[in-house]
Amino acid sequence: MTRSEHIRALQEEYARQRAANEEDQEARIARTCAAIPEIGRLRQESTDLALNAMRSILAQQDEGQRVAAAKEMKRRGQEINARIRQLLIGAGLPEDELKPRYRCAVCRDTGYVGEAPARFCDCFEARLRLRQYEDGSMAGVDEQNFEHFDANRIPEADGQRAQLVKARQLCEDYANAFPNTAFRDLLLTGAGGLGKTFLLNCIFERVTRRGGSAVRITAFRMFEAMRQQHVGNDDNYEGFSALIDVPLLLIDDLGTEPMMRNITVEYLFTLLNERAAARRHTVVATNLSPVQIKERYGERVASRLLDRTRCAAILLKGKDLRGL
């Protein structure tokens, strides 16, 4: 994808986020008004007050009377808002429970800041940089998401269907709970064609649809970011740092990247170690077994990928599903 295409896709993502914000606010208002009917009455009074005051102001010929009407509307509005806050606090709710909530308070999830011509918000620029690391060959999340999971396509023999259905549930629970997951990291292992990439894409789609910040990347593209960082011929290059900083990093096909001296193992360890130290979430899909991971990358990298205190490993077995 070109930069312009990434920008358009990201603008659509921000539009979806704003719609989700509105839906969330409406649901909170509905729940609160149902639990505390007086708040619903006060909100309706506030709406009526504004309409009636506007009519009154427009009907007045005298400037002093218009000013007085506006002041009275403001005074009563403040009283209503103060009473609503009092009721919310009394019910154990935050006083801003009925207000919009934004992923970015600076741009209010528009992606833009400043007067015309507006510029991209820092949050938009950061997400744009992350999106540009996605490999164009990766499958689209319109098809690879939890909603398109079809258990009927999976053979029942040797428990393969039950195994993949369980793996799907574990991944969906992880995506729905993010960032408050039971385990910070996930490791999807097994031979090719068993659904690892599909599940990785499902997690990415669900987390980003819920407004989370994530980037998925193939191992080869990850290696390119490492190599560029190592060469260091671009003072403005932020690719490797972006991979360290993103809240959720999903790496597909680990083990297929080139093994280059002083780069692959060293930078992979740095990436995993820095993310672990910052308590950021990482999901890895690989055809390598735990033994092969140790053989390829050494003990230090293996210890970061296979740490059972912070990583849940999902081993998939069975027939290749790609031809079914």
What CATH number has the domain bearing residue 276?
A: 3.40.50.300
Q: How far is CA 314 from the centre of its chain?
A: 22
Residue 188 confidence (pLDDT) above 90: yes
Query: Same domain, yes or no, for 167 and 268?
Result: yes
* Number of domains composing the chain: 2
Residue 177 confidence (pLDDT) above 90: yes
**pLDDT tens string 27-85:** 999 999 999 999 999 999 888 888 887 787 777 777 887 788 788 888 888 999 999 99
Query: Same domain, yes or no, for 58 and 162?
Result: no
**pLDDT tens string 90-142:** 999 999 999 999 988 899 999 998 887 788 888 887 777 666 655 555 566 66
Last residue of a domain, one of 90, 119, 154: 90
Return the pLDDT at 139.
60
Residue 245, domain member (yes or no): yes
**Cα distance between residue 272 and residue 306, in whole Å:** 11
Q: What is the dihedral of CA 151, 196, 250, 273, to 10 degrees?
A: 130
pTM given for the model: 0.62
| Between 71 and 237, residue with greater pLDDT | 71
For residue 308, what are the contacts with CB-CB under 8 A and spacing of at least 6?
none
**Cα distance between residue 247 and residue 119, in whole Å:** 24
- Domain range enclosing 78: 3-90
| Between 122 and 251, residue with greater pLDDT | 251
Residue 284, domain member (yes or no): yes
